[in-house]
């Protein structure tokens, strides 16, 4: 039987089963220039957003962490430093091109013995329950087809007392910021994509996907519905980005 459901792919509606394939195509295309484009698009601010996320992990040496949709490994590198040689970080991504890029970057940085790389779907994580002390997902949840399933999967593999951190673009809350952000997203980002990455359409999708992602309160409710407790969020850069956090008790 065919699946009658549809979902968003940017501003386009596509069959439910097609979104993962289309997202894979986007990240196959952008993997090579992903880090450069992140710096250009955010003016380097993504490094501050990730630094804040890492500052609230609560990880200690010897613990275990999972970075879901970890891409080129910025968060995983920070997690690896926090858990130290006796700990373990798993960098997972559904996209093989991004995962290879992350593995190469971490290897080049000398981060070797305490990181493993696993190609995995965020909706169906191939790990035993109660495995990780902390899970991060940075700028990846909005590309997932079934977000409630991914949140439930991440909760399942958290240890009791473990924390999930979701770093994602959100809805600006600072007065007047929304209009400026829209203009930047739909004029400047696709232009940068065309000039630097030779791929305007992928960066137009990425801008559109931000607008289709649940806002701060909606995502908070989704995390609570997935069984996470103590949920709250921190707005960064006027709400352009938010870090949501929740615990498994």
Tell me the pLDDT tens digit for each residue of 139-151. 999 999 999 999 9
pLDDT over 90 at 3, yes or no? no
pLDDT value at position 190?
A: 87
Is the residue at 190 inside a domain? Answer: no
Average the pLDDT over 195-223 and give the result. 92
Is the residue at 181 inside a domain? Answer: no
Secondary structure class of 63 (helix, strand, coil): coil
Average the pLDDT over 102-115 and give the result. 95
Determine how many CB atoms are found less than 10 A away from the CB of residue 128: 9
| CB proximity list for 170: less than 8 A, separation 6 or greater | 213, 215, 216, 219, 235, 239, 240, 241, 242
Is the residue at 96 inside a domain? Answer: yes
Which structural domain, as residue segments, surrounds residue 110? 6-174+203-247
Is the residue at 184 inside a domain? Answer: no
Share of the chain above pLDDT 70, in %: 99
Is the residue at 189 inside a domain? Answer: no
Residue 41: is it exposed, middle or buried by C-beta count within 10 angstroms (0-12/13-18/19+)?
A: buried
pLDDT value at position 2?
A: 57
The answer to whether the CB of 92 falls within 8 A of the CB of 115 is no
Tell me the pLDDT tens digit for each residue of 38-48. 898 899 999 99
Q: What's the 3-state SS for 191-212?
A: HHHHHHCCCHHHHHHHHHHHHH
pLDDT over 80 at 1, yes or no? no
What tokens were used for 106? 């971490």
pLDDT value at position 95?
A: 94
Confidence of residue 129 (pLDDT cuts 50, 70, 90): very high
Q: Which helix (H) or strand (E) holds 155?
A: helix 147-157
Q: What is the CATH number of the domain that holds 135?
A: 3.40.50.150
65: which strand partners?
A: 89, 134
Is the residue at 195 inside a domain? Answer: no
Average pLDDT, the chain: 94
Q: DSSP string spanning 74-142?
A: HHHHHHHHHH-TTSEEEEEES-HHHHHHHHHHHHHTT--TTEEEEE--TTS--S-SS-EEEEEEES-GG
The radius of gyration of the chain's CA atoms, rounded to the nearest angstrom, is: 17
**27-31, 120-124, 133-137, 215-219: range with lowest mean pLDDT:** 27-31
Average the pLDDT over 109-124 and give the result. 96
Average the pLDDT over 77-94 and give the result. 97
Number of folded domains that form the chain? 1
Is the residue at 155 inside a domain? Answer: yes
Is the residue at 14 inside a domain? Answer: yes
Average the pLDDT over 58-63 and give the result. 98
What tokens were used for 148? 């409630």
């Amino acid at each position: 039987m065919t699946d009658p459901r549809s979902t968003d792919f940017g501003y386009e509606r596509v069959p439910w089963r097609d979104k993962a394939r289309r997202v894979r195509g986007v990240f196959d295309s952008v993997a090579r220039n992903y880090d450069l484009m992140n710096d250009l698009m955010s003016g380097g601010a993504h490094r501050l957003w990730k630094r804040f996320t890492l500052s609230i992990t609560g990880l200690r040496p010897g613990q275990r962490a999972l970075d879901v949709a970890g891409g080129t490994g910025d968060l995983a590198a920070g997690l690896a430093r926090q858990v130290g040689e006796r700990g373990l970080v798993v960098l997972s991504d559904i996209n093989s091109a991004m995962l290879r890029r992350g593995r190469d970057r971490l290897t080049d940085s000398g981060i070797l013995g305490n990181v493993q790389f696993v190609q995995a779907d965020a909706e169906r994580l191939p790990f035993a329950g109660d495995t990780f002390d902390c899970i991060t997902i940075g700028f990846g949840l909005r590309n997932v087809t079934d977000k409630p399933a991914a949140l439930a999967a991440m909760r399942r593999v958290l240890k009791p007392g473990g924390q999930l951190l979701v770093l994602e673009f959100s809805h600006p809350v600072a007065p007047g910021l929304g209009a400026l952000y829209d203009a930047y997203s739909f004029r400047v980002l696709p232009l940068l994509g065309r000039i630097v990455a030779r791929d305007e359409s992928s960066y137009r999708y990425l801008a559109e996907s931000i607008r289709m992602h649940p806002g701060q309160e909606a995502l908070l409710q989704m995390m609570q519905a997935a069984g996470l407790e103590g949920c709250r969020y921190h707005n960064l850069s006027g709400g352009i980005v938010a870090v949501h956090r929740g615990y498994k008790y």
